[in-house]
Amino acid sequence: MMATPTSIEPPPERRPRRSRTRTALALGMAGLLASAGVTALTGTAEAASTLGAAAAEKGRYFGAAVAANHLGEAPYASTLNTEFNSVTPENEMKWDATERTRGSFTFGSADQIVNHAQSRGMKVRGHTLVWHSQLPSWVAGLGTADLRSAMNNHITQVMQRYKGKIHSWDVVNEAFQDGNSGARRSSPFQDKLGNGFIEEAFRTARAADPAAKLCYNDYNTDGVNAKSNAVYNLVRDFKSRGVPIDCVGFQSHFNSASPVPSDYQANLQRFAALGVDVQITELDIEGSGTAQANNYGNVVRACLAVSRCTGITVWGVTDKYSWRASGTPLLFDGNYAKKPAYGAVLSALGGSQRRLYGDVQQGRGVE
């Protein structure tokens, strides 16, 4: 009777020999590396195993929008602290959080996030100073002269509070209309101060914290279209006249109705060619599995292909607290498990979830 393949065992005497051979090979390899000047398989030779570390190796930051009221949730904080090296307060620096009443500033929640980040060596993006939304009703009630001074005072007070602690500020957010008009969006600032309000906001911001990078930030500007053309023309005009602007933020909220555009990289590149940095500021992509992972990978590769694309921020840590949670648009699921999209991002950044030989030697195990 023939033995089935599964019943075939190597003769007992061969098993230890194979094991000795493997050990000898490993030792031989170590000797070879040592003689070539490679003293260890750990350290810099090891692929980064977190988003922040992998991005840092590419000269970029990798951040997340953070809500102060979740920082006390242990897995939220540990995921944030382990994986990300930049944070953006999701709501805590907005006008309705920082100056709900005219002239009375409240920074408790924003301070909480900034302190959390600073004590862990993370960067902070400031979001946002002048925006039509989350704007207390008193602002819309002001006359032109009062509104001008309230806008400039708001920028100055908030920026001075965090002077030296914010690497980039979204000075003006979402000032253009959707659709094909390329026109400005109606807002108290636009309607009362006119087209010049953006320039005025940026000049005030430069004076308040000269070291911070000053960004214009918007959505639906991720590909070449009428809205992004309007922003492009604004930035080109500012650069030609010496109006201070350092960066453009591309929010990059994607779903099936608003997919990652095929000219995403080309669009980032044309802005960079104007002499500003570009940043992916609010990335989230609805979906799941491989399709979502591929989209995330493509976005990361586009940023890495543009030398002035200085960093990526995803708009939240976990699907559980996403502003559109039902679309599961983030890198960690509701239980903080890494999704396929996480793996795609890490590998696009050149990192690896698999720990290498050096980790095994140091007893850290292989995931």
Tell me how far, at minimum, the Cβ of 360 lies from ligand G2I, in Å: 41
CA separation (Å) from 342 to 277, 283, 333, 337? 25, 13, 10, 9
Largest CA distance in the chain: 100
Does residue number 106 form part of the binding site for ligand G2I (CB under 6 A)? Answer: no
Q: Which residue is nearest to ligand G2I (CB)?
A: 323
Pattern of binders to ligand G2I over 44-83, x per CB under 6 A? ----------------------------------------
Q: Where are the alpha helices (DSSP H) in 84-173?
A: 95-98, 108-118, 137-140, 144-161
CB 164 within 8 A of CB 213: no
Alpha-carbon torsion angle 359, 360, 365, 367, nearest 10:
70
The residue among 58 and 94 lying less far from ligand G2I, judged by its C-beta, is 94
Dist CA 354 CA 173 (whole Å):
39
Sole binder of ligand G2I in the list 277, 282, 286, 319 (CB under 6 A): 282
- Both structure tokens of 271: 């802005």
Does residue number 90 form part of the binding site for ligand G2I (CB under 6 A)? Answer: yes
Query: Could you tell me how many residues of this chain bind ligand G2I (CB under 6 A)?
Result: 8
Tell me how far, at minimum, the Cβ of 134 lies from ligand G2I, in Å: 5
Interactions with ligand G2I, residue window 132-191 (CB under 6 A): 133-134
Which of these is catalytic: 90, 174, 200, 286?
Answer: 174
The residue among 127 and 148 lying less far from ligand G2I, judged by its C-beta, is 127
Which of these is catalytic: 83, 90, 99, 282?
Answer: 282
99 is catalytic: no
Tell me how far, at minimum, the Cβ of 215 lies from ligand G2I, in Å: 12
Q: Which residues of 242-274 are buried (b: 16+ CB within 10 A; e: fewer)?
A: ebbbbbbbbbbbbeeeeebbeebbebbbbbbeb
- Counting beta carbons within 10 angstroms of the beta carbon of residue 338, is it exposed (0 to 12), middle (13 to 18) or buried (19 or more)? middle
Tell me how far, at minimum, the Cβ of 265 lies from ligand G2I, in Å: 22
Q: Which among 305, 308, 306, 327 is positioned nearest to 316, based on CA atoms?
A: 327
Sole binder of ligand G2I in the list 91, 112, 153, 352 (CB under 6 A): 91
The residue among 83 and 282 lying less far from ligand G2I, judged by its C-beta, is 282
| 254 contact partners, CB below 8 Å, separation of at least 6 | 222, 260, 283, 284, 285, 286, 295, 329
Does residue number 96 form part of the binding site for ligand G2I (CB under 6 A)? Answer: no
Tell me how far, at minimum, the Cβ of 281 lies from ligand G2I, in Å: 8
9 is catalytic: no
The residue among 330 and 348 lying less far from ligand G2I, judged by its C-beta, is 330
Strands (E), the chain: 61-66, 86-89, 123-130, 168-173, 213-218, 247-250, 253-254, 277-285, 309-314
The residue among 90 and 209 lying less far from ligand G2I, judged by its C-beta, is 90
Interactions with ligand G2I, residue window 295-354 (CB under 6 A): 323
The residue among 90 and 200 lying less far from ligand G2I, judged by its C-beta, is 90
Does residue number 251 form part of the binding site for ligand G2I (CB under 6 A)? Answer: yes
The residue among 258 and 347 lying less far from ligand G2I, judged by its C-beta, is 258
Query: Rounded to the nearest 5 degrees, what angle is found at the Cα of 303, between the Cα atoms of 226 and 41?
Result: 175
Tell me how far, at minimum, the Cβ of 235 lies from ligand G2I, in Å: 19
| 142 contact partners, CB below 8 Å, separation of at least 6 | 150, 188, 192
Annotated active-site positions, please?
174, 282
Q: Which residues bind ligand G2I (CB under 6 A)?
A: 90-91, 133-134, 219, 251, 282, 323
